[in-house]
Structure 1
């Protein structure tokens, strides 16, 4: 069975966290999309970063990507493809906006599957209820901090109810089809053949083999001409792409270091887990913390250049002392009068961090970027990449990519994309040690 081309529109750059060897595209003009379609690897990612955008802008960007994709597919004469709208495993994102636009632009899908299971991050779905598993405890996702997100909050872990809430009743809970573990394990080809008219289907998954079985049935029925769309987290991608093991094991990824010098760590995410990981990393003897006080940015925008100069000086001093600078935003959660003001300030902070990235010492050996949106901005804005090759995972759920050897400032630089909510408290320390081992 030939594998169709799997085109992933990723709403932040961490969705490739379960696959390897493929291309990540930071731009989506027709020529760049053709690079992805021509690549030998069956799957590629378009990093749309829509989770950082307002609903209107997310719609606009998704539409632009899909229209360009239509041209690119026609030029490459490709008819056999699957589209995945990859989003957050804790259900935060522009659903159903993105899947609606994809369906409008790319044709008549028979179904869209909600597959939020992400095993590397401890997210499973059983009986259509989505759980986060932490230290062996299963918590329905609506009882976690993610459900209270000021931009993407929600009230239900039972996926049919989540769909009714998010579609504002356009799709009723009782209209959502459910593929339970029992269904998947006994085979769902017949049910897949019955689907039509972009039917919404909630998909269970407790282990990778559940999704392997689901994907195998989906790929078989897609060969018969059914058109399917996915709204999913990362784990289903492993099952669809069938890539096998990555070239270099996680523990040995220090082999990719660009130079024998120290690297740099950038921590933008401020969820609890990121903060715990940051504090653990700051205990390491070979690192120096460099705090970016975001309150100063908010309260005194005119002081921006002065703040930037001071931080760059701290980084230079640490680096000259053979220390790895750990640049992190202050941990206090600031309050804003409106959601838009909060989003706008997020863009402001990110643009400040990217000014830092562009001015880092040229001969650093690696860059670790903590936080989904931060990582996206590092690739597309800080490093200004058109594409990067994903080498694999340095920790479950954490991708290592490398800049092209032709990069004007940081050639062949390994960059770790470390999502905010992934890894245990020692996660950042583990990744740092794997890349920094040449310093003893």
Structure 2
């Protein structure tokens, strides 16, 4: 077998590294930064493109730009073999097939692209090519959940061959999708992998990590034999491909990373129902003081509303911090309606801009920061903290990652930052992450 391929994940929000550790997350993708990631000792690297927050046109442009720079960086870094993973949401929301098409156009041709949405830590499994979200212990077909009603990425079916046909506008018909069912997966797909060609779409089942671990070993063997594969997956496949040992410090001992045992801050941007339930539990925790950011004040006059909100929020935060407590800063929860998607996205950008101004105004002796919501977390890393790369320490809860800023960060040196996806964990999860750090 040849050298182990470098696994390059293009992540459409910063939470896809939620099952791995000790690797670099890149927040920029110029050639020089990509070379840093490619040369790093870890078997995998993440490029945080944040495309789930972008329009289809922007998502395609960013994906192409990353791939064009990778074409230059890969030989510069001396990497011989690589696998590309388009990491996206385990509830089937995202720019498919835009991203996989862009990757194939720039880095192809590929023999196949695999749809692997299973994410076991989050209770997402795929059986008979139908993708399920486990809710209160019961697997529910993904199209029957709130995620399928997403105003930007909605879909009508969780049967992957039909989902692919729907998303590709019929360019790939359901019967053209190859199905790796559990039965096939468990009897071995090595021969089938070698026969794939022409960038055929393959829907991959998975009920346990063991299913994907075996599949990953077969994929790596086929790749070593010259097959070229592309993946559209959630996080669990990355665990399987990277085959890492346990993380350096266990989840329950993560308080070791907190700076001088100082209190932290918690920033909550996500609006999914699960986040709102988790926030309610967090606000009951000792040492937490809620700070509501009433974004409706920005509806009439963005600029004036934003500057007023920023001043009042930072004044409250400063006072709470001085008393040795942890502010939980959250955007107002009511569902706002907008005349169209463009205005909704523009307002979302304004709110995110305000949250990043708040991050930049936080006390510099914070012990830790918890960021709740995928897009919020990406903005926190790339804009609020202005990071170029960051090292992933591991997970504080299943599916919830912790990174750390560099020791020479100008404002928040060596500070642990928790990247908490909107739709992960039970209602006590946010409070538990806070307790593990305090």
TM-score band w.r.t. shorter chain: over 0.9
User: Matched residues in 1 for 2:305 and 2:129: separation?
Assistant: 50
Superposition deviation, residue 299 in structure 1? 2.4
Which residue of structure 1 aligns with residue 287 of structure 2? Answer: 286
User: Matched residues in 1 for 2:402 and 2:261: separation?
Assistant: 18
The 5 Å alignment of 1:33-432 reads 33-301=34-302, 302-432=304-434
Superposition deviation, residue 258 in structure 1? 1.6
DSSP 3-state at the match of 1:259: helix
Deviations 1:208-261 (A, max 9, x none): 000001101100000000000000000000000011210111000000002222
DSSP 3-state at the match of 1:131: strand
Question: What is the RMSD of the two structures over their aligned residues, measured on CA atoms?
Answer: 0.7
Structure 1 stretch displaced more, 292-301 or 362-371: 292-301
Deviations 1:275-320 (A, max 9, x none): 0000100011201100011111122322321221111001011111
Structure 1 stretch displaced more, 134-143 or 221-230: 134-143
Deviations 1:178-216 (A, max 9, x none): 000111111101100110110000000000000001101
User: Matched residues in 2 for 1:195 and 1:315: separation?
Assistant: 56
Alignment TM-score, normalising by the size of structure 1:
0.98
Structure 1 stretch displaced more, 389-398 or 256-265: 256-265
User: Matched residues in 2 for 1:430 and 1:158: separation?
Assistant: 35
Which residue of structure 2 aligns with residue 22 of structure 1? Answer: 23
Superposition deviation, residue 83 in structure 1? 0.1
User: Matched residues in 1 for 2:299 and 2:422: separation?
Assistant: 22
DSSP 3-state at the match of 2:45: strand
User: Matched residues in 2 for 1:143 and 1:304: separation?
Assistant: 37
Unmatched tracts of structure 1, length 5 or more: none
Q: Which consecutive aligned stretches of 4+ in structure 1 deviate over 2 angstroms post-superposition?
A: none
User: Matched residues in 2 for 1:212 and 1:335: separation?
Assistant: 43
DSSP 3-state at the match of 1:217: helix
Superposition deviation, residue 344 in structure 1? 1.1
User: Matched residues in 1 for 2:428 and 2:101: separation?
Assistant: 39
CA contact (8 A) 1:110 1:226 kept: yes
User: Matched residues in 1 for 2:39 and 2:299: separation?
Assistant: 45
Q: How many residue pairs align between the two structures?
A: 436
Superposition deviation, residue 79 in structure 1? 2.6
DSSP 3-state at the match of 1:138: strand
DSSP 3-state at the match of 1:331: coil
User: Matched residues in 2 for 1:387 and 1:62: separation?
Assistant: 18
Alignment TM-score, normalising by the size of structure 2:
0.99
Unmatched tracts of structure 2, length 5 or more: none
CA contact (8 A) 1:3 1:241 kept: no
